[in-house]
Copies of this chain bind each other. A is one copy, B any other.
Amino acid sequence: MKKLKRKDYEAALEPMQRELVAMARWARDTGQRIVVLFEGRDTAGKGGAIDAIREHMNPRQCRVVALGKPADTGEWYFQRYVSHLPSAGQIVLFDRSWYNRAGVERVMDYATPAQVEQFLEQAPAFEKQLVDDGILLFKYWLACDQAKQEERFAERLEDPLKRWKLSPIDLAARDKYADYTKAREAMLRATHTDHAPWTLVDFNDQRRGRLTLIRDLLDRLPDTHVPDAPLTLDALAGKARKERFGVVAPIKSFGD
């Protein structure tokens, strides 16, 4: 399949974003709680997919959660994620999630095999709790071939805007593509459940991947149509005012 052109991508994305916005209205009006996990290969395109979803949403309703490394306090592994779960009407997008333990922590030996084992047993039970409580939980895993990954690593090295994405860990992970595959398969065997199934999406073409993911997300939500509240903009009472500054004036505008 040919790589999707930007123009075609944007033309296909916009109606989906409208649906997303309508979905958010539905979530707010009905008090739904939505959680979407984004996992996958390094460079697969988690950040871009998240941005495409939240771009037109109210930041007070739709939050992105991107947690750093856990402190070693010995607390219940899921504890720090629980405090970020949505309240009524909220949508939370997890940029990486509790599945770190089954991926990077496993492959890079940050977690012991016993911890990984325990995680794989606990995750389905933890997720069942959330789903039984009525949270709508979606788990996406973004796939890409190693050649594509290499291409993107090289791009990150060159592009100053992306250079920060290249951590020493990423480089160490380059040779571990097969280990990540193995870890993913073990993860799927243990945590692809009826109540919280995984959805894998091909992100070799990131634009196409985003459209695939968003379309799938929308299709798996129930009928979310809630009509807009009717609003009208009456004419202003007086003449439109201009800004007038007393205490502090604006700085000179760019290019002025």
Contact = CB atoms under 8 A, between A and B. Distances in A.
Interface of A: 1, 4, 12, 14, 17-18, 21-22, 24-25, 31, 33, 47, 51, 55-60, 64, 66-68, 71, 73-79, 82-83, 85-89, 95, 118, 121-122, 125-126, 128-130, 132-133, 135, 143-147, 149-150, 153-154, 157, 160-166, 168, 171, 174-175, 177-178, 181, 185, 188-189, 192, 197-202, 205, 208-209, 211-212, 215-216, 228, 231, 233, 236-237, 240-256
B200 A245 contact: yes
Contacts of A247: 185, 188-189, 192
Contact of A256 (B1, B60, B67, B192): B1
Given A171-B231, A189-B247, A241 B133 contact: no
Contacts of A51: 55
A253 B162 contact: no
A231 B87 contact: no
A160 to B, nearest CB: 5
A99 B213 CA distance: 38
A213 B185 CA distance: 47
Given A60-B66, A79-B82, A189-B247, 18 more contacts: A1-B255, A1-B256, A12-B254, A31-B74, A73-B88, A75-B86, A76-B129, A76-B130, A76-B135, A78-B82, A79-B85, A82-B83, A125-B129, A143-B250, A144-B243, A171-B231, A181-B243, A208-B255
Contacts of A189: 247
B75 A88 contact: yes
Contact of A181 (B58, B121, B244): B244
A12 B256 CA distance: 14
A158 to B, nearest CB: 10
A167 to B, nearest CB: 9
B75 A161 contact: no
- Residue of A85, A122, A243 ringed by the most chain B CB atoms within 10 A: A243
Given A153-B233, A251-B212, A74 B89 contact: yes
Contacts of A33: 74-75
